[in-house]
Amino acid sequence: MKPLPFAGKIVLVSLLCLCTSIASAQPHAKIPQESGFSGFVSAGPGLWRIEDNLVKEIWFFQVSENEINSIDDSPKSKYLVTPIASYNVGYTFASTRTQIFLGSLLEDLLRFDTATLLGVRQELPDQSVIGVGYVFSPYIFEVYKDPYVEGKNRKGTDRTINGVRLSYDKILGSDLSFQYTYRNIDLDNERSGRQLVRDGLLTPSQADRLDRNGGRHDVEVLYRFVSQREASKHAFVPSFKYSYLDLDGSAMKHNYFQFSLNYRYDVEKFAFVLDGYYGYADYDNRNPIYGKTREDDRYGFGLLGFYKRFLGVEDLHLNLTVAINRGDSNIDFYDSEVDLYSMSLFYFF
């Protein structure tokens, strides 16, 4: 199985759901008190600047060049305009405090998690909430079969993802939350390094160390600090995430540590969200192409503004977003940059 590349992760999440962050002004996505349907839908355009050597297409949009001059070079910039659309639909059984849902959880959206879930959440007597969900991606996502091909048209292959998420929110009635996610990600045709084998530059066993198939484990802990005043609300949400990518290729297997801080400010007519993160990826073994072990620094920030009750409609909100994301590797080929500028409408029901 192949881990979702840094740029692919950011782009896919944003294509599906970044504009839904208006909900982050709320301290927690609670289960509604009344039975029935609830959720949100959102849509709008987004302008992208993307630099990535591994991802070919996302949702029919080409995000990188099929042909590269050298596998020693950083990726080139590509600009594109795409629609951004998302949803989350749930049905609540108020008598048992149970909710079934389909979509992306609000907690995921600001933290660039690609998961789409079909699951169930249950509120306990202490007002904590446990949940379990099936994780999948219904959208077409293509990476390159062999990204290390120079001067030729690189072919794409589909990437699929499925797994499970377990969550425990508002632990023992507090503002502490925990979740664990396992993903199995599969490439239809993984051929990393095979052109270099044909060229006599790698052995087959060395190319096997580049295999991107495998499994991914994510553990995340976050805490919500909320301050409620007369006409405004402030919230700070620090979080720590540990990921272990147990991939078949020993040079691709790695640990990832990420620290995030989210600040949210909510008043009568406006809401603002500022989100920043820093992560470090430490790979297990030496890359057979570049002769050294890969290390990545990944960091970024998002600034989101919301104008509530747009056009006088109570549950309609206008969202403007700027998101800057960087992945700096000690191997230039794996560098990645994704910038997004978007405007969208967000409707609760």
Give dist(CA 290, CA 202) in Å, integer.
11
What pLDDT is attached to residue 245? 97
Contact 248, 229 (CB under 8 A): no
What pLDDT is attached to residue 310? 94
Give dist(CA 26, CA 92) in Å, integer.
19
> pLDDT below 70 — which residues of the chain?
1-29, 104-115, 139, 230-232
Alpha helices by DSSP H, listed for 155-216, are 194-198, 204-208
- CA 235 to the chain's CA centroid: 22
Half-sphere exposure of 44 (CA within 13 A, CB side): 22
What pLDDT is attached to residue 257? 98
In terms of C-beta density within 10 A (0-12 exposed, 13-18 middle, 19 or more buried), how is residue 134 classed? middle
- CA 292 to the chain's CA centroid: 28
Give dist(CA 288, CA 271) in Å, integer.
49
- How many residues in the chain? 349
- Residue 306: strand, helix, or coil: strand
310 φ, ψ to 5°?
-60, 135
Q: Which residues of 262-292 are buried (b: 16+ CB within 10 A; e: fewer)?
A: bbbebeeeebebebebebebebbeebbbbee
Give dist(CA 30, CA 19) in Å, integer.
20
Give dist(CA 241, CA 111) in Å, integer.
10
- Residue 173: strand, helix, or coil: helix
Q: What is the pLDDT of residues 53-65, one digit of tens each?
A: 999 987 778 889 9
Give dist(CA 200, CA 44) in Å, integer.
49
Q: How far is CA 148 from CA 58, 105, 132, in A?
A: 20, 36, 39
> Residue ranges per domain, the chain?
6-348
What pLDDT is attached to residue 230? 59
What pLDDT is attached to residue 232? 64
Architecture of domain 6-348: Beta Barrel (2.40)
Q: Which residues of 85-117 are buried (b: 16+ CB within 10 A; e: fewer)?
A: bbbbebebeeeebebebbbbbbbbbbbbbbbbb
What pLDDT is attached to residue 95? 95
Contact 345, 318 (CB under 8 A): yes
What pLDDT is attached to residue 61? 84
Q: What is the pLDDT of residues 146-184, one digit of tens each?
A: 999 999 999 999 988 899 999 999 999 999 999 999 999
User: Can you read off the two tokens belonging to residue 251?
Assistant: 């040079």
Q: What is the pLDDT of residues 223-273, one digit of tens each?
A: 999 887 755 689 999 999 999 999 999 999 999 999 999 998 998 899 998
Give dist(CA 36, CA 92) in Å, integer.
5
Beta strands (DSSP E) in the chain are 36-51, 55-58, 61-62, 77-93, 98-103, 116-123, 129-136, 141-144, 156-169, 176-187, 214-223, 225-228, 233-247, 254-266, 270-286, 293-307, 316-329, 336-348
155 secondary structure, DSSP code: P
Residues 6+ apart with CB under 8 A from 41: 85, 86, 87, 346, 347, 349
